[in-house]
C-alpha cells in the first residue's frame, strides 16, 4: 500500500498525485503524509550520490503512486543545466558555519529548488488521474515564488499561470523579473495590498465552489504552486538530506553526528521540510526558525499563541514579510497528534479572530524548535561583518538567519555543526546588500543594475544570468488591481 495524504482539517485522504493536482483540500485543509516515511538509505550511502540520485531516494518515499520511471524523468527534467552548478545546492563555509546555497536555479532564489520540478510532477499527476482540463495555476507571491513558478510553467502545454504580487512589497529586481516574464500562458498582476491580502484572495478563489463549476464548464481547473502544495514541500526535503550526506562524505561531520539547521522563514515551508527530514531519521538537532521584524513565529514559539493582529512591516527581506504562515498548519496538525478536529478549530479561530493558542501538551512537542528574529539593523550589520571578515556576501533573508543563529549560539553555547539555509542570491537584493556593506551606496545615484555590477566587483562573483538578462528584457505585464478585484482579473484572463 502506498503512502496516502490526509487533510489537516478532516478525514479526507488523497494519493500523492491527487494532492499535487489539488494543492489544497476541499475543506480548506493542507495535505500531510499520513505517516512520515523513514530514509531507507544511510547518509553514507547517500553521500556517494548526485543531487538527482538523492532526490529520487527521498521523493520515492513520499510520491508512492509515481512509477520509478516517471519520478526519475521529472527529476532529470528539473535539476539539469538550469542550475549553474553541478552540485545544485552547494555548501559554502564562512565563520565556521555551512551556508547551504539554494539559489543556483533560474530565478536565483530557493523557490527554484521546488518550482523547477513542480510542473513536471503536476503534468505527470494530471496524466495519471486522466485530467483533461487545462490546469490553471493560481499563485500569490511575496516576490520569489511568482517568478520561479512562471519560469517553471511558462509555455508548459496544458497549463496557464496567474501570479498576484503586492505592488509595493517586492524588491525592484524581483518586480522586474516578474513583469518581463515571457510565455503565452502567463499573467502577472500587481495588487494594491500586501502579501497576506494576495494570499487570502487566492485562497478565497480556490474555495469558491461556484467559480469551480464555471471553470469546469470552460475546461479549466485550478491548482496551486504555493508552498502549501506537497509537490513543493517534498522536493525541499531533498536538500537537507543531501547537505547532511555531503558534510558526512567530506569528513566535516562524523557518522550519526547531529547538525543544527537555521532557516529564514516566512510561510514556514522551508523549515517544515527540515522538520520532515528530521522525522525521517536525519540527525538534525535544533530547527532554528528565523523571522524578520514580522516576528509572529518568534512570538508563537515563545508564548504558544499565534496572533496575526499586528502591524504588517515592510522589511528588506520581503519574502519573509508574512503574518499568516500557511505551512504552520501542518506543524500544528502534527503536534496535536494528527488531530484534524483540533487543527480545524484553531484555523477557524485564526480566520475569524486572527489568533489562537495551543495547549501545553502541544507546546512540549515544539522542543526541537528555537524561534528568533532579527531587526533591520542587525540584518544589515550581519551582511557587513560577514563580508568584512570573510569576503563572503549573503542576501538579506540569509542574513536574518545568520544573525538569529549568532544569537542562538550566544544564548545557548550550543556548538553543534550548523547549516544555514541561504535562500537568495545577494544579487536579487543588491540595493539592500550594497547599502549594508557601505551606506555610501544609498546616497550616491546608483541604479539597481549598476549596483549588481558593484556587487560583482567587491564580492568577486560573476553577475548571474538571471540578472544580466533583465537589462534588455522588455516589460510585458502592467496589470494592477485592487485586492477585491482578483476574481475579475482571473475571469478576464480565462475569458469566462
Residues that bind ligand PLP in the complex, under the rule CB under 6 A: 109-111, 144, 227, 264-270, 319-320, 397, 423-424
d(CA 486, CA 469): 30
Residue in the structure block whose three cell numbers are 503536534: 335
CB of 336 vs ligand PLP, minimal distance in Å: 21
CB of 491 vs ligand PLP, minimal distance in Å: 28
Cα distances (angstroms) measured from residue 90 to each of 51, 105, 304, 422: 10, 12, 35, 10
Q: Specify whether 111 is catalytic.
A: yes
Nearer to ligand PLP, 327 or 456 (CB): 327
Q: Which three cell numbers stand for residue 447?
A: 541604479
Nearer to ligand PLP, 169 or 269 (CB): 269
Residue in the structure block whose three cell numbers are 498548519: 329
- Give the residue among 181, 199, 183 at the shortest CA–CA distance from 191: 199
CB of 1 vs ligand PLP, minimal distance in Å: 30
d(CA 369, CA 277): 14
d(CA 314, CA 255): 43
CB of 160 vs ligand PLP, minimal distance in Å: 23
What is the rounded radius of gyration, in angstroms, for the C-alpha atoms of the chain? 21
What is the number of other CB atoms lying within 10 angstroms of the CB of residue 299? 16
Nearer to ligand PLP, 342 or 432 (CB): 432
- Give the residue among 69, 164, 165, 151 at the shortest CA–CA distance from 117: 151
User: DSSP secondary structure string, 15-71?
Assistant: EHHHHHHHSB-TTSPBEEESSPPPPSS-HHHHHTS-HHHHHHHHHHHH-TTS-HHHH
Nearer to ligand PLP, 269 or 372 (CB): 269
d(CA 12, CA 31): 9
CB of 367 vs ligand PLP, minimal distance in Å: 20
Using an 8 Å Cβ cutoff, are 33 and 330 in contact?
no
Q: Is 260 helix (H, G, I), strand (E, B) or coil?
A: strand
Cα distances (angstroms) measured from residue 398 to each of 155, 274, 416, 425: 32, 16, 19, 9
Nearer to ligand PLP, 171 or 223 (CB): 171
Q: Is 80 helix (H, G, I), strand (E, B) or coil?
A: coil
Nearer to ligand PLP, 227 or 342 (CB): 227
d(CA 30, CA 32): 6
Nearer to ligand PLP, 66 or 242 (CB): 242
Nearer to ligand PLP, 265 or 435 (CB): 265
Helices (H), 66-182: 68-78, 111-115, 118-128, 144-153, 172-179
Catalytically annotated residue among 111, 147, 187, 428: 111
CB of 195 vs ligand PLP, minimal distance in Å: 10
Helices (H), 374-461: 376-390, 396-412, 430-437, 440-443, 448-459
d(CA 312, CA 486): 21
Using an 8 Å Cβ cutoff, are 64 and 213 in contact?
no
Size of the chain in residues: 496
Residue in the structure block whose three cell numbers are 537589462: 471
CB of 496 vs ligand PLP, minimal distance in Å: 30
CB of 318 vs ligand PLP, minimal distance in Å: 9
**E strands in 402-468:** 418-422
CB of 56 vs ligand PLP, minimal distance in Å: 23
Nearer to ligand PLP, 66 or 239 (CB): 239
Active site residues: 111
Amino acid at each position: 500500500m502506498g503512502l496516502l495524504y490526509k487533510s489537516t482539517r478532516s478525514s479526507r485522504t488523497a494519493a500523492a498525485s491527487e494532492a499535487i493536482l489539488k494543492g489544497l483540500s476541499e475543506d480548506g485543509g493542507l495535505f500531510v503524509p499520513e505517516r512520515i516515511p523513514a530514509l531507507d538509505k544511510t547518509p553514507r550511502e547517500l553521500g556517494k550520490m548526485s543531487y538527482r540520485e538523492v532526490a529520487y531516494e527521498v521523493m520515492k518515499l513520499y510520491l508512492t503512486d509515481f512509477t520509478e520511471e516517471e519520478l526519475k524523468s521529472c527529476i532529470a527534467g528539473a535539476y539539469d543545466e538550469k542550475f549553474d552548478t553541478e552540485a545544485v545546492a552547494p555548501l559554502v563555509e564562512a565563520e565556521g558555519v555551512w551556508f547551504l546555497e539554494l539559489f543556483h536555479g533560474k530565478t536565483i532564489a530557493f523557490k527554484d529548488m521546488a518550482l523547477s520540478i513542480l510542473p513536471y510532477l503536476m503534468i505527470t499527476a494530471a496524466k495519471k488521474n486522466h485530467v483533461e482540463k487545462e490546469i490553471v495555476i493560481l499563485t500569490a507571491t511575496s516576490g520569489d515564488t511568482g517568478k520561479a513558478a512562471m519560469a517553471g510553467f511558462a509555455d508548459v502545454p496544458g497549463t496557464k499561470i496567474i501570479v498576484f504580487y503586492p505592488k509595493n512589497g517586492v524588491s525592484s529586481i524581483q518586480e522586474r523579473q516578474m513583469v518581463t516574464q515571457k510565455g503565452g500562458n502567463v499573467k502577472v498582476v500587481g495588487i494594491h495590498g500586501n502579501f497576506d491580502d494576495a494570499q487570502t484572495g487566492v485562497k478565497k478563489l480556490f474555495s469558491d465552489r461556484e467559480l469551480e463549476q464555471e471553470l469546469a464548464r470552460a475546461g479549466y481547473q485550478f491548482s496551486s504552486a504555493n508552498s502549501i502544495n506537497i509537490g513543493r514541500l517534498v522536493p525541499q526535503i531533498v536538500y537537507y538530506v543531501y547537505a547532511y550526506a555531503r558534510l558526512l562524505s567530506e569528513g566535516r561531520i562524523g557518522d550519526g553526528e547531529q547538525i543544527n539547521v537555521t532557516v529564514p522563514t516566512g510561510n514556514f515551508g522551508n523549515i517544515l521540510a527540515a522538520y520532515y527530514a528530521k522525522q525521517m531519521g536525519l540527525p538534525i538537532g535544533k530547527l532554528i526558525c528565523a523571522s524578520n521584524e514580522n516576528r509572529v513565529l518568534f512570538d508563537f514559539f515563545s508564548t504558544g499563541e499565534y496572533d496575526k493582529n499586528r502591524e504588517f512591516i515592510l522589511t528588506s527581506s520581503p519574502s519573509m514579510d508574512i503574518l499568516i504562515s500557511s505551512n504552520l498548519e501542518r506543524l500544528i496538525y502534527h503536534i496535536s497528534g494528527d488531530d484534524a478536529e483540533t487543527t480545524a478549530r484553531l484555523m477557524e479561530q485564526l480566520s475569524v479572530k486572527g489568533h489562537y493558542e495551543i495547549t501545553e501538551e502541544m507546546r512540549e512537542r515544539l522542543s526541537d524548535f528555537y524561534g528568533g528574529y532579527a531587526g533591520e539593523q542587525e540584518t544589515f550589520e550581519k551582511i557587513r561583518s560577514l563580508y568584512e571578515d570573510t569576503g563572503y556576501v549573503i542576501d538579506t533573508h540569509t542574513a536574518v538567519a545568520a544573525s538569529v543563529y549568532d544569537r542562538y549560539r550566544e544564548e545557548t553555547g550550543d556548538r553543534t555543526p550548523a547549516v544555514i539555509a541561504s535562500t537568495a542570491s545577494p544579487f536579487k537584493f543588491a540595493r539592500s546588500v550594497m547599502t549594508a556593506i557601505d551606506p555610501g551606496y544609498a546616497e550616491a545615484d546608483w541604479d539597481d543594475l549598476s549596483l549588481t555590477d558593484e556587487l560583482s566587483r567587491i564580492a568577486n562573483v560573476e553577475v548571474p544570468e538571471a540578472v544580466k538578462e533583465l537589462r534588455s528584457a522588455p516589460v510585458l505585464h502592467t496589470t494592477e488591481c485592487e485586492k477585491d478585484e482578483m476574481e475579475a482579473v482571473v475571469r478576464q484572463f480565462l475569458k469566462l
